[in-house]
Structure 1
Amino acid sequence: MTVVHPPPTPGLELSNPPTDGISNLRFSNHSDHLLVSSWDKSVRFYDESANPLRGEFMHRGPVLDCCFYDDSSGFSACADNTIRRIVFSYEKEDILGRHDAPVRCIEYSYAAGQVITGSWDKTLKCWDPRGASGQEHTLVGTYPQPERVYSLSLVGNRLVVATAGRHVNVYDLRNMSQPEQQRESSLKYQTRCVRCYPNGTGYALSSVEGRVAMEFFDLSETSQAKKYAFKCHRKSEAGRDIVYPVNAIAFHPVYGTFATGGCDGFVNVWDGNNKKRLYQYSKYPTSIAAVSFSRDGRLLAVASSYTFEDGDKPHEPNAIFVRSVNEIEVRPKHPNPPA
């Protein structure tokens, strides 16, 4: 049985949170800076160590995702079909490119030096951010997908694309002519989030139906025998099993354990190799829309933001919490400790 020790507070609450639903938040790979995208049409740039809002960039439509390029700039994916490049220090932005429908996901690949975007227009696009803004020559390639793109994740030269219809395409960024693998989610319901394992061997996939699947890239029988799915973010009430969507997954950069955030307002930490829950944090005010570990795993950012899973109803205001991570919360427990 997992022993749960809820901490007394949810962490430091950042000032000036978005005024509408939070779509994503991410720590920088180079510092404790935090980037937050929102349905209030903004991208916010925080310096977590000092807790000030360092910059706020307003777009023409809801912002559905964001990512860092380096500590001085980043990119955003917008519901007005644009991909924008943001330069924090100069407080300016320009349009990197466009899709034919809202842009749902964005990632920057350090391996390929490209911005990768996934859209509800059922395409994936790769961009060279070094080109002139808004010019077609920044577009490296367009790759049709079987359905609307819901989530992207990168590890090394590997890209995993999760779409509507439970499709999963795996690409090698060095040869994007066709997917390296075309899969179907092993979960029965709509995909919410996909995240690659830090060691590059596979990916975790979450669904609206309170489950997470652990998958492996290696198609050998031995590797495929290791894949499994588990139930999470559920509760029993009056004899009924209440199931919550799992909106977010974030892997710890040191230990390879991972956090999940659900519409039940909880963040859980899991040891995927040993199939155990390591920790559950105290309940947050409302649904967990996004989670992100800092580059060294010392901090965990949590977006507490109602995701309208039960329609438009009164709900707690949006909040961003940043908590210090104790090693006991994220370090795997070895099943057979050495003598």
Structure 2
Amino acid sequence: MLQQQQQPQPKDFEVQPNCPDGISDLHFSPTSELLAVSCWDGNTRIWEVMPNGSANAKVEIAHGAPSLCVRFSADGSKLFSGSADKTGKIMDLTTGQTIQAVQHDAPFRCVRWLNYGNTNGMLVTGGWDKTLRYWDLRQPTPAHVAQLNDRVYAMDSMQNLLVVGCANREVVLYNLNNPQQSVKTLESPLKFQTRTLACFPDARGFAIGSVEGRVGIQYVEAKDNGLNFSFKCHRDDKNIFSVNSIQFHPVLGTFSTAGSDGGFNFWDKDSKQRLKAFPVTGIPIPCSAFSRTGNIFAYAQSYDWSKGVDGSLQGTKHQVMLHATKDEDVRPRPAKGKR
């Protein structure tokens, strides 16, 4: 009897042209196949991902300093790009016009468009000036400024939930029914610096990752606290790597992690198991994103500054890769031992 040979994993597509400097953030449009990429060379670039996996360069937003965060609006008509020059710009994708829209007193780090209740169509930005700022873009000044205890390192929102991770391992939660007042402040369940976080698709909680190669699954309501847990990842026998990016699949609710080891994995938090592990390349992955249907997983290969200036090597290649997801790799599974 002949033994069936295992088919090799299809190669991921490399987006061309490559970025000339480090890559800081990725985001897919929720309404089209556009992919935005922010870069340390001071530019945010937009590519259109084609059905065959290739990508066509479209337009750019130029800053006077590194571009650190990007986000498409919910209707896909606008793209926000925040920079280390303390300004945020918005491109209208229907006209191609770009305006300077918002400002912080220190570099931007995070941005989200809000589309819940009274915040519908508003923008929230988090910066290294230890503030969270809500913007009604019809006005030149913030609608509200929330003072935080430290710099914003990570942020995400889903439905009525906004979660902000700060430099001091503090995590601040907001209910967008009343966005001007935080509802809870807690210490990260992880012992070291927060690197990334992502809200659950049902807004019942969030996943948080740190520089210690660990992820925490955290529920908001006290009645769900028994479901909280953490697990180790992005480690080998000798090294512990930073978890740089957590992304939830937009349809299935499973999630990915990507880290400084150059590897990414798909997980199911409900059955507490890893669905798929991919080969570690050794080139750090600083950021990643699922497309609107989840059929494409984009990830950057670029230095992530996890080892400071000493770890930055001249000649390092900075690239965005497109991985076609397989259903069996991202679909939830029953907990082990249950059928």
Verify: 1:58 aligned to 2:66, yes or no.
Answer: no
Contact 2:61 2:81 in 1 (8 A): no
Secondary structure of 2:168 counterpart: helix
Contact 1:251 1:257 in 2 (8 A): yes
| Candidates 264, 268, 276, aligned match of 2:265 | 268
CA RMSD of aligned residues (A): 1.7
* 1:27 Cα deviation after fit: 0.7
Letter in 1 for 2:37: V
Closer, same or farther in 2 for the Cα pair 1:249/1:202, shift >3 Å?
A: same
CA distance in 1, matches of 2:56, 2:279: 25
Verify: 1:297 aligned to 2:294, yes or no.
Answer: yes
- 5+ residue gaps, structure 2: 1-5
CA distance in 1, matches of 2:113, 2:8: 34
In the alignment, which residue of structure 2 is the partner of 1:74?
79
Verify: 1:283 aligned to 2:280, yes or no.
Answer: yes
Secondary structure of 1:329 counterpart: helix
Contact 1:285 1:316 in 2 (8 A): no
How many residues are treated as equivalent by the alignment? 323
CA distance in 1, matches of 2:180, 2:299: 37
In the alignment, which residue of structure 2 is the partner of 1:247?
244
Letter in 2 for 1:107: R
In the alignment, which residue of structure 1 is the partner of 2:19?
18
In the alignment, which residue of structure 2 is the partner of 1:321?
321
User: Among the aligned pairs, what percent are the same residue?
Assistant: 35
Report the more deviating stretch, 84-93 or 19-28.
84-93
CA distance in 2, matches of 1:272, 1:107: 24
Closer, same or farther in 2 for the Cα pair 1:277/1:256, shift >3 Å?
A: same
Closer, same or farther in 2 for the Cα pair 1:285/1:189, shift >3 Å?
A: closer
| Candidates 154, 157, 177, aligned match of 2:157 | 154
Letter in 1 for 2:65: G
Contact 1:83 1:97 in 2 (8 A): yes
Q: Deviations over 1:49-98 (max 9, x none)?
A: 15110112211111110000243321011101111111234433111111
- 5+ residue gaps, structure 1: none
Q: How does 1:123-272 map to 2 (within 5 A)?
A: 123-129=131-137, 131=138, 135-136=140-141, 139-220=142-223, 223-236=224-237, 241-272=238-269
In the alignment, which residue of structure 1 is the partner of 2:3?
none
Contact 1:10 1:321 in 2 (8 A): no
- TM-score by structure 1 length? 0.91
Secondary structure of 2:321 counterpart: strand
Verify: 1:107 aligned to 2:138, yes or no.
Answer: no
Contact 1:245 1:262 in 2 (8 A): yes
Letter in 1 for 2:246: I
Moved over 6 A (4+): none
Letter in 2 for 1:175: N
Closer, same or farther in 2 for the Cα pair 1:215/1:10, shift >3 Å?
A: farther
CA distance in 2, matches of 1:7, 1:156: 40
* 1:141 Cα deviation after fit: 0.6
* 1:208 Cα deviation after fit: 0.4
CA distance in 2, matches of 1:317, 1:31: 28
Secondary structure of 1:288 counterpart: coil
CA distance in 2, matches of 1:7, 1:301: 20
In the alignment, which residue of structure 2 is the partner of 1:332?
332
Letter in 1 for 2:321: F
CA distance in 2, matches of 1:10, 1:25: 20
Contact 1:6 1:281 in 2 (8 A): no
Contact 1:302 1:321 in 2 (8 A): yes
